[in-house]
Amino acid sequence: MKIAVLSGKGGTGKTLVAVNLAAVAGQALYLDCDVEEPNGHLFFKPTDVKVKDTVIKIPSVDDGLCTGCRICVDFCQFNALAYIIDHLQIFDQICHSCGGCALLCPEKAIVEKNKIIGHIEAGISGKVSVRSGFLNTGEASGVPIIRDLLDSVDLDQQKLVFIDCPPGSACIVMESIRDVDYCLLVAEPTIFGVHNLNLVYNLVKLFNKPFGVILNKCLAGEENPAEKFCLEKKIPILGRIAFDAELGTINSDADIAARVSKKYQEQFTSLLTKVLMEAENEAVISS
């Protein structure tokens, strides 16, 4: 069972939920796909860490073979190539690694070289396997790292996988939820939260993923715009986490609440049961 945890808005509690559910699950795999700003490893503090670089292909030219025909310059949709006087100039940072220039060069003067854009780390924390992706600063897209992360282990062989997603709803989020069985949306009770929840709600519907919501930072006696949204759209609410300064402090110190507090161990265990039941039901319905 592969479960993605996403939210649209940042700071609603994706990592809080993904990390704590994985921690109470017994054996589980936690994947941090927020490769721009990964945080899960700060909580799990995994040991036995193995590192693997993620590379993308960037063209490089053999000036001896290049005849200056400019087929590559004219082809490149991204304008990453310029032919200046007698030399082909390649702009690495604009290149999208499509391989077209190397493919089309009639002299076979262009070959592709590897460029490191980040890395993935795999380690253990208790019974949880922890894998995180890290994008190097200055690089524009983490999509290849997310791909590497998702390919680094046979996900279908895993009993339970939690995928901690990036905020937003753009290409990096789509890449993270591509193969999951169920999407858990974490919402906060603010109009910003609801506005972004709506975006990610549309995204999971577009991708035909079954989904449910966890309401976080709930304030007793206060109107909750996120709850209202879920009731209007008939989205299943799987749990409510109360706003609690103690939880905030534990979390801000990068401690896993379910591991340091009995109250939270119980709460997340019962939440996990609810989530798994719902996810398994949906899997049966859609199969």
Q: How far is the CB of 82 from another protein (least distance, A)?
A: 5
Select the residue interacting with another protein from 63, 253, 266, 280 (CB under 8 A).
253
Distance CA 87, CA 67 (A): 9
Whether residue 225 contacts residue 191, with contact meaning beta carbons closer than 8 Å, is answered with: yes
Q: Which residues pair with 186 in a beta bridge?
A: 214
Select the residue interacting with another protein from 3, 31, 135, 258 (CB under 8 A).
135
Q: How far is the CB of 10 from another protein (least distance, A)?
A: 1
Does the protein bind another protein through residue 167 (CB under 8 A)?
Answer: yes
Convert residues 169-188 into a mask of x (bound to another protein by CB under 8 A) and - (unbound). xxxx-xx------------x
Does the protein bind another protein through residue 191 (CB under 8 A)?
Answer: yes
Does the protein bind another protein through residue 203 (CB under 8 A)?
Answer: yes
Select the residue interacting with another protein from 143, 153, 155, 237 (CB under 8 A).
143
Amino acid at residue number 243: F
Helix (H, G, I), strand (E, B) or coil at 277: helix
Select the residue interacting with another protein from 65, 94, 124, 283 (CB under 8 A).
94
Q: Can you spell out the DSSP letters for 168-228? A: SSSHHHHHHHTT-SEEEEEE-SSHHHHHHHHHHHHHHHHTT--EEEEEEEE-TTS--HHHH
Does the protein bind another protein through residue 12 (CB under 8 A)?
Answer: yes
Question: Interface with another protein by CB under 8 A: which range of 23-31, 195-203, 230-238, 261-269?
Answer: 195-203
Burial of residue 57 (CB within 10 Å: 0-12, 13-18, 19+) is middle
